[in-house]
Amino acid sequence: MSVFSALDRAAPHYFKWLLPTGLVAIWSAGAATGAIPDGVLASPWHTAQTAWKLAADGTLPIAIGESLRRALFGLVIGGGLGLAAGIVSGASRGGEDLLDGTLQLLRTVPFVALAPLFIVWFGISEVAKVALVAFASFFPLYLNTHGGIRDIDARLIEVGRVTGLSRWGGLREILVPGALPAILVGLRYSLVMSIIALVVAEQINLTTGIGALLGDARRFVQTDVMALCIAIYAVLGWAANKGAEHFADWQLSWRNGVRAS
């Protein structure tokens, strides 16, 4: 613990930016010295110029908007179904018997492996892309909702029964609020999974979105556009994770948990 305590005391507020800044510095130095040829990976400056050019002509905002729309639709559908299934399975023994075994089996299937099957089912339309994102977003919320409800102290449920709460009242007043921390963790993971699945989904029928830019860049060996697209995916994932983290902190402001500072 002394090592961690020393790090906590020594770390300034900007400490978290040291590693990403160092990686960019290494990338820049490699490009400047020729250790990283432009044909292998464009320099940060070249990549930034490309980003500015694509942003100025409207290509980049449109592509980002299309990708975010797919990720959001998939998250709402998959996450919503995962939340509902987790509540049914967690709050009811019959629901658990009906759903949990099958869903535990399905969650071991990599969503990447489903891409060819979704193309057969839905064609190369938007439906296949959204369905793949929805599948990936479903399980984090399902598992955390189910586990959160199952971990609630049985004495709280008994108190609800004694005070005359109905089944619906107990769900609204005890089970869902009690499982909220776990549900919000599931939301955080679902958000990140939606971005990861988006990368795979956008390889289907590349016409619009960041995936289309990446596919064109791969065909024409434009390493600057490739680096830009990868950076955008990374930033979207980071932003989704931080947004969910802040939302959870806001919703759970009454808790005094252990947090790194």
Percentage of residues in the chain having pLDDT higher than 70: 87
**pLDDT tier, 137 (very low <50, low <70, confident <90, very high otherwise):** very high
Which of the four pLDDT bands, split at 50, 70 and 90, describes residue 190?
Answer: very high
Average pLDDT, the chain: 83
Question: What per-residue confidence (pLDDT) applies to 32?
Answer: 85
Mean pLDDT over 254-258 rounds to 52
pLDDT classification of 37: cutoffs 50, 70, 90: confident
Picking from 199, 57, 196, 92, the residue whose alpha carbon sits closest to that of residue 140 is 196
CATH number for 43-251 (one of 1.10.10.10, 3.30.830.10, 1.10.3720.10, 3.40.50.720): it is 1.10.3720.10
**What pLDDT, on the 0 to 100 scale, is given for residue 15?**
67
Structure confidence at residue 261 (pLDDT): 41
114-140 mean pLDDT: 88
Percentage of residues of the chain with pLDDT beyond 90:
21
Q: What is residue 202's predicted lDDT score, i.e. its pLDDT? A: 83
More confident residue, 155 or 114: 114
pLDDT digits (tens, 9 = 90+) for 200-232: 888 777 677 888 888 888 888 889 999 999 999
Q: Do residues 215 and 203 make contact, with C-beta atoms less than 8 angstroms apart? A: yes
Q: What's residue 124's pLDDT?
A: 77
